[in-house]
């Protein structure tokens, strides 16, 4: 007999979570108990909601809804991010199990709205079968810095001299940052950010669109305490005043090293020259980190997001990515219907289950 249960995720659920993950992925982050506990129990916004599909005594499928606060000028909305959805291979022959799992996420009293993304297998189900509203998709940006690794993935051989030949371009980009920053005067460090500074930044950011809550407790949990997904928080000051932050992480993928911009929030009043300095800082930091490329993914419709995209960062076509990253938003009441079409939400990689 099939049943779907909805409950708060707890430590007693970790073993069955990992068992289902291991049957699909083998050894992975989702079979690491410290990572699972951190991700779904330790969040400052509370434990994830556990939706599990049982066939008899067997866990045949699951998804988890991680709580997030979405801040708007009119107040805070309780949002939930659907992630780690998985159905056992034995129960995938019909889409009904997938549909029932997704519909079980609707009208959970803890959440005003649910948002999630998809992969290449589930996107057709969301788009054509369930017809969920999709106000925007995440857009990827990047910049290649060392070409030998990329060539090696194509021709099967690494030619180191290629990187020597383009070294002048890398150092030219580094030099451009220092020249622009003589005027912009950005000071980017790893100094602490106070609660008052971060709250003031968030309040100013709300003037141009909703943002998911950013607090020091959230930054500490998400980037400092993370057992596998840690990141470095960079404070940005200008003329002695705090104006924002960036979070970066080095990621190894398919033999290449990427400097990934996981999250950022900057004042909406950032000048054109300061925006340029910020982008060139990302490039020069990638060069100093000796990575093969820079990468990030954002909602490019957000006004704050536009402060960090543009030349020299390059838009990456979806066909070059593993899959598209649409954002589906489902309100749980008529009070939040506007979010079916809202495109201005500031969303970065930290707001989706990507890195």
The CA distance from 231 to 105, in Å, is 30
**CATH fold of 139-351:** Aminopeptidase (3.40.630)
The CA distance from 293 to 287, in Å, is 8
Tell me what pLDDT residue 126 has.
85
37 Cβ contact partners less than 8 Å away, ≥ 6 residues apart: 11, 14
The CA distance from 25 to 328, in Å, is 25
Q: Consecutive sets of 10 residues in the chain, 355 residues long: mean pLDDT of each?
A: 87 94 90 96 96 85 95 95 91 83 81 90 82 94 80 56 69 92 96 97 95 97 93 96 97 90 96 96 94 95 91 91 91 91 96 87
Residue 353 near residue 84 (C-beta atoms within 8 A): yes
pTM of the predicted model as reported, rounded to 2 decimal places: 0.92
Tell me what pLDDT residue 140 has.
96
Q: Do domains 2-116 and 139-351 have the same CATH topology?
A: yes
Tell me what pLDDT residue 225 has.
94
The CATH class for the domain spanning 2-116 reads alpha beta
Q: Where are the domains of the chain?
A: 2-116, 139-351
Tell me what pLDDT residue 278 has.
97
């Amino acid at each position: 007999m099939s049943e779907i249960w909805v409950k708060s995720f707890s430590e007693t659920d970790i073993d069955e979570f990992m068992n289902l993950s291991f049957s699909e992925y083998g050894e992975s982050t989702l079979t690491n108990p410290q990572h699972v506990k951190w991700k779904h129990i330790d969040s400052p916004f509370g434990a994830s909601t556990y939706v599990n599909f049982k066939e008899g005594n067997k866990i045949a499928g699951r998804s988890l809804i991680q709580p997030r606060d979405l801040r708007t000028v009119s107040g805070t909305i309780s949002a939930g991010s659907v992630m780690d959805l998985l159905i056992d291979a034995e129960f995938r022959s019909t889409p009904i199990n997938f549909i029932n799992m997704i519909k079980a996420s609707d009208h959970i009293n803890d959440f005003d709205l649910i948002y999630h993304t998809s992969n290449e297998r589930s996107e057709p189900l969301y788009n054509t079968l369930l017809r969920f509203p999709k106000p925007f998709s995440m857009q990827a940006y990047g910049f290649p810095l060392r070409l030998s690794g990329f060539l090696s993935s194509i021709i099967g051989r690494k030619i180191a001299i290629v990187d020597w030949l383009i070294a002048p371009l890398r150092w030219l980009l580094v030099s451009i940052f220092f020249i622009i920053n003589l005027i912009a005067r950005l000071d980017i460090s790893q100094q602490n950010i106070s609660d008052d500074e971060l709250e003031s930044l968030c309040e100013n950011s709300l003037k141009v669109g909703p943002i998911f809550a950013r607090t020091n407790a959230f930054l500490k949990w998400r980037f400092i305490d993370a057992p596998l997904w840690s990141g470095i928080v960079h404070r940005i000051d200008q003329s002695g005043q705090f104006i924002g932050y960036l979070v970066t992480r080095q990621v190894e993928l398919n033999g290449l090293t990427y400097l990934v911009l996981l999250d950022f929030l900057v004042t909406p009043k950032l000048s054109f020259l300061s925006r340029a300095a910020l982008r060139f800082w990302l490039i020069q930091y990638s060069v100093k980190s000796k990575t093969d490329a820079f990468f990030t993914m954002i909602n490019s419709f957000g006004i704050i997001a536009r402060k960090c995209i543009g030349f020299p960062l390059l838009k990456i076509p979806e066909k070059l990515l593993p899959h598209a990253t649409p954002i589906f938003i489902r309100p749980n009441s008529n009070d939040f219907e506007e979010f079916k079409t809202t495109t201005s939400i500031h969303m970065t990689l930290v707001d989706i289950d990507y890195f």
